[in-house]
Amino acid sequence: MQHQQRSLGVIMLDTGFPRPPGDVGNPASWEMPVRFKKVSGASPDKIIRQGGAGLIEDFVIAGEALIAEGCRALVTSCGFMARHQGTLNGKLSVPIATSSLLQLPMVSTLVGPQRAVGVITYDEASLDDAIFAACGASIGTPRIGMPGGGAFRELIEGSGTYDRSALETEITNAAQELKLREPNLGAVVLECTNMPPFAQAVAKTCGLPVFDVLSLGHWLFSSTSSRAFAGMSERVN
């Protein structure tokens, strides 16, 4: 491994929809070298609604393959993989962040107890208390999902096209509704790894900090590639 380029590894679900810059599966989304490994048969439905039954060992195998290619840290392409954080981090030899939701406890600490941290998710009904518990987050975390039959759901489920305008409208509408529900909202975490292309729009809509899989992945990878400093320069006051 020492002769290979140090990289971030992304364990990918088995999907076929477009992944523009900002999406977890586009290399241009990342500021470091990145490698991808797809888990065959890991459809969004199997992970989100069926809990990934029978596929977890395949995620381990994909993670091990990425580690062998030089990856020093790993993320996944679905926030619902959070329910398996405790399994995967016990079987892989490098740090793995299964979900952007792992940021919830830290973000909550940053904004303070008087303000809530809300989640925008792909599927609100499937984002159960066990997932929040696996992330060390409050099970009372406010959340809102994409509408059934909408552009986001149809894209991920394979029956829709990539309509950027419609996708942005859906996610900003969700952000507005989340802020209406939670007047003391202090920050937003995007669960879905296909949402970061719209993080800037969400931030403008809410006027709040937005965290996602990219903020998590960059933070995690930075711990494996600390910058070297040398010499002495004049102090800047």
By percentage, how much of the chain surpasses pLDDT 90? 90
pLDDT value of position 237: 65
Position 1 confidence tier, pLDDT thresholds 50, 70, 90 = very low
Q: State the pTM of this model.
A: 0.94
pLDDT of 158 > 90? The answer is no
Q: Is 118 left (phi over 0), alpha (psi -120 to 50) or beta?
A: beta
28-68 residue pLDDT tens: 999 999 999 999 999 999 999 999 989 999 999 999 999 99
68-94 residue pLDDT tens: 999 999 999 999 999 999 999 999 999
Average pLDDT value for the chain: 95
pLDDT of 168 > 60? The answer is yes
**Numbered ranges of CATH 3.40.50.1860 in the chain:** 7-99+218-222, 100-212
Position 227 confidence tier, pLDDT thresholds 50, 70, 90 = confident
Amino acid occupying residue 193? T
What CATH number does domain 100-212 carry, 3.60.70.12, 3.40.50.1860, 3.30.70.260, 3.40.50.460?
Answer: 3.40.50.1860
Looking up tokens 């992304």 gives 10
| Residue 156 Cα distances to 76, 141, 161, angstroms | 16, 24, 9
Architecture per CATH, 7-99+218-222: 3-Layer(aba) Sandwich (3.40)
Quote the tokens at residue 128: 């159960």
